[in-house]
Structure 1
Amino acid sequence: MTQGRSIRLFLVDGTPNGLLTAEIMNWTGHVLTGPRTKLTELVQRPECGRTGIYFLVGPDIEGSLRPQVYIGESDDVGTRLKQHNRTEDKGGKDFWEKVCLITSKDKNITKAHVKYLESLLIQSAGELGRCKLINGTSHDYANLPESDRADMAFFVEQIRTVLPVLGLDFLRVRPAISHQPSVASMPAAKSPKFIAEVPRHGIKAFGQEIDGEFYVLEGSTARGSWNGVEGGYQSLYQQLCDDQVLVDCDKGLKLFARDYAFTSPSAAAAVFCGRSANGRRHWKLESTGQTYGAWQDQQVSAAAATPNEGSYD
């Protein structure tokens, strides 16, 4: 079982939409985030005068459902953010609506450290594909001592832990999923495999629910075009085609070229069916034919019937 973690959140101005800080127990990192509308207050914070990494996040102006993200570093983050806010300047960035900066409470993070961190994070974000990176390719800063590289690897893991809590999922690691039944991986091994079919269209998809996301597995087929009403998951279907997650295959169908994580079984079912669909009824356990909805209800009922060791009478 994964070990629990404590994250301390502080609403700087007492409102959920203002500045927020986050810290993890036994981690020297310090996170400060807020909307661009609060930039005046944010740059006055002491954290902004330190060396650190920052993320600029905003919607894709071309309509993609993935956010646009710029990853940067500076030994004076406040000054750099002011530059990015001037859209008429060369360093200006107009897309962003939210900023998140990460510094060190003990002030032991150096310029060399943040350059190395920036390189790792740009590479990781590009490989994960959960956002549209503004940076382009990452620079290679590999001249840190071995011990410092190990410290920065730990720093990155803490960043991956805390950012999703703040609603920033672009560095969230995708779990390893084995496509060989005899070599089931973790945590995928804990999740049963589901199947969904539309026989009259000859499409069949396989899925697994892992870490709160519903994955449609590589090799699944989908409808060759969107046939539902406009809106809904149509834009997601088109995005997956544009991103080459869905590629053309035989008989006018689409093929999932790689595993893809959806926010819900219904989102997954809609894309695979090419129209709106109720994933709770559409997905069925491959082993028994039980619907996803019935399986989930069974899991909840079983959990509710099991005494909680931490509960009180």
Structure 2
Amino acid sequence: MTQGRSIRLFLVDGTPHGLLTAEIMNWTGHVLTGPRGKLSELVQRPECGRTGVYFLVGPDAENSARPQVYIGESDDVGKRLKQHNRTEEQGGKDFWEKVCLITSKDQNLTKAHVKYLESLLIQQAQRVGRCTLVNGTRHDYIGLPEADQADMAFFLEQIRTVLPVLGFEFLRDSSRPPSRDGAEGSSLSADEAAASPRFRMIFPKYGITAYGQEAEGEFFVLEGSQARASWAAPGHSYQPLHQRLLEEGVLVEDETGLLRFSRDYAFSSPSAAAAMVVGRSANGRTEWKREDTGQTYGEWQEQVVSEAAESSAEVL
């Protein structure tokens, strides 16, 4: 079973949309975030005078499904943020609406540490593909001692844990679910594997078969799954997502003339996943069926909820 974590959040000015700090128990890192409109207050905080990494986050005008993100580092984050607050003509950045900076409570982060950490963060953001990265290039910093590299790898994992709690999803992994119905080599227990069965969706008219699995609140369409050759419902709200998957190489044409998922891809719901497979809107709760029993996703979910409620009632 996954171990729980304790995260301490503090509303600096007592409002949910103002400055916010976050800390994880037994982690030396310290997170400070807030809207651009609060920048004058944020730069007065002591954290802004420390060495750290930061994220500038804003909407992507060309892709409403993901944010634009700039990842940077500085030994005086406050000074760097003032520079970014200038207009584009003055060397600043216009796109961002929120800022998030990560420093260390014990102030042991050095310039070398944050340069290496910045490189890891950019690499992670590129690999995950949940944002449009504004950074032009990623520099590899290899001069850090091996022990310090291990420390920064741990630091990165803590950042990836706390950011989604604050509403920043761009570092959250979108790789394959850890188990395929308890397959050999799975790191999950039998109970955990049973809670995440593999589903199949068949579209006989076009010879399409796709596979999916739910993990951590998202529905993954698995690598190798087939999809309709083109989008068949012009003007539908899911069409831009379908086009983006084509542009990013998630959906590629295979030798049969159909599209194929080149890698596992996470969707917010089984219906969004089903729509990408059939090229139009679809009810994923009924279209996805357990590969082993034929039970629909909706039926499986209702069964899981009912069993959990009954188990809870017995305990009480």
Deviation at 1:66, TM superposition (A): 2.2
* Number of the residue aligned with 1:170: 170
* Number of the residue aligned with 1:185: 186
Question: In structure 1, what is the Cα distance between the partners aligned to 2:255 and 2:235?
Answer: 26
Whether 1:264 and 2:264 are equivalent positions in the alignment is no
* Number of the residue aligned with 1:299: 304
Asked whether the equivalents of residues 116 and 140 of structure 2 are also in contact (C-alpha less than 8 Å), the reply is yes
Deviation at 1:231, TM superposition (A): 3.2
CA RMSD of aligned residues (A): 2.1
Question: In structure 1, what is the Cα distance between the partners aligned to 2:7 and 2:158?
Answer: 10
Describe the superposition over 1:136-183 as per-residue Cα deviations: whole angstroms up to 9, x where unpaired: 331111212222222111111100100011111111123445789853
- Output the amino acid matched with 2:184: V
- Output the amino acid matched with 1:253: L
Asked whether the equivalents of residues 28 and 104 of structure 1 are also in contact (C-alpha less than 8 Å), the reply is yes
Describe the superposition over 1:199-234 as per-residue Cα deviations: whole angstroms up to 9, x where unpaired: 112211100001111110111111111112513211
Question: In structure 2, what is the Cα distance between the partners aligned to 1:209 and 1:55?
Answer: 29
Identical-residue share of aligned pairs (%): 70
List structure 1 segments (4+ residues) > 3 angstroms apart after TM superposition.
88-91, 174-190
Question: In structure 1, what is the Cα distance between the partners aligned to 2:268 and 2:217?
Answer: 8
Question: In structure 2, what is the Cα distance between the partners aligned to 1:308 and 1:146?
Answer: 51
* Number of the residue aligned with 2:39: 39
Question: In structure 2, what is the Cα distance between the partners aligned to 1:205 and 1:47?
Answer: 48
Indicate how the Cα distance of structure 1 residues 266 and 254 shifts in structure 2: closer, same or farther if over 3 A, else same: same
Whether 1:4 and 2:9 are equivalent positions in the alignment is no
Describe the superposition over 1:49-76 as per-residue Cα deviations: whole angstroms up to 9, x where unpaired: 1111000111223225222111100011
- Output the amino acid matched with 1:226: W
Question: In structure 2, what is the Cα distance between the partners aligned to 1:106 and 1:211?
Answer: 33
Indicate how the Cα distance of structure 1 residues 211 and 186 shifts in structure 2: closer, same or farther if over 3 A, else same: farther
Aligned positions of 1:33-112 closer than 5 A: 33-63=33-63, 65-89=65-89, 91-112=91-112
Question: In structure 2, what is the Cα distance between the partners aligned to 1:75 and 1:169?
Answer: 25
Describe the superposition over 1:18-58 as per-residue Cα deviations: whole angstroms up to 9, x where unpaired: 11111101111110111112212111111111111000111
TM-score (normalizing by structure 2):
0.92
Deviation at 1:96, TM superposition (A): 1.1
Unaligned 5+ segments in structure 1 are none
Question: In structure 1, what is the Cα distance between the partners aligned to 2:184 and 2:64?
Answer: 35
Question: In structure 1, what is the Cα distance between the partners aligned to 2:184 and 2:241?
Answer: 31
Stretch moving more, 176-185 or 85-94: 176-185
Indicate how the Cα distance of structure 1 residues 266 and 19 shifts in structure 2: closer, same or farther if over 3 A, else same: same
Unaligned 5+ segments in structure 2 are none
Describe the superposition over 1:108-140 as per-residue Cα deviations: whole angstroms up to 9, x where unpaired: 111111111111111111112121211133111
Asked whether the equivalents of residues 180 and 198 of structure 2 are also in contact (C-alpha less than 8 Å), the reply is no
Indicate how the Cα distance of structure 1 residues 36 and 103 shifts in structure 2: closer, same or farther if over 3 A, else same: same
Deviation at 1:293, TM superposition (A): 0.3
Question: In structure 1, what is the Cα distance between the partners aligned to 2:8 and 2:89?
Answer: 37
Deviation at 1:14, TM superposition (A): 1.6
